[in-house]
Amino acid sequence: SQDAVFAKLQVWVDANIDGVTEPSELKSLADLGIASLGLQAQVGTQTDNGNLLGLNASWSDSAGVVHDLVDVFFGATSLQTWVEQATQRLDLAADAQANSVSVHRADVLAAEQSTLVVKTGANDVLRLEESGWVLTGSEVSVDDHSYGLWSNAGAHLWIDRNATVQQVL
């Protein structure tokens, strides 16, 4: 806390879980009650849920209580694997008719992986029924279809680029 730039450090708290940094989601260390960060990290070997707890140190809050500070090396799954292994799928491309389907965030969250893959034809319309859906910019191609990732507070939709997407506010 005696470092000249300590007061300028910020923590991103992704309050709406959309993966997009917004000014209101950047908090100062003081805002979060962080008084100091221990920089004497030890190399860790423990894993938690497939993620390596790589560096271990401590931090102190404004009341002087010491807490664990861990640099987690997350196990990664490729975007292609994420789409290929998704258990919830909606295939509208199987017929030549124009389909119009509504998707609700609660239904996506109820899926095992909070993920739905929607394969469409060029004449299909997908309606996103709540506000908050964000096209993240992540894209992947699987089985001759390109998908874009839409997210909304923990719910994830991989929507075929063939689809017309309508956001209902």
Please report, rounded to a whole number, the percentage of residues in the chain having pLDDT higher than 70: 99
C-alpha separations of 137 from 19, 32, 67, 146, 148 in Å: 11, 30, 36, 12, 7
Indicate if 102 and 64 belong to the same structural domain: no
Domain that holds residue 149: 79-167
Residue that finishes a domain, picked among 21, 39, 73: 73
Average pLDDT, the chain: 89
Task: Give the per-residue pLDDT at 87.
Answer: 80
Total count of domains within the chain: 2
Residue 1 has pLDDT above 70, yes or no: no
Q: Do 65 and 141 share a domain, yes or no?
A: no
pLDDT of residue 49: 76
> 66 and 88, same structural domain?
no
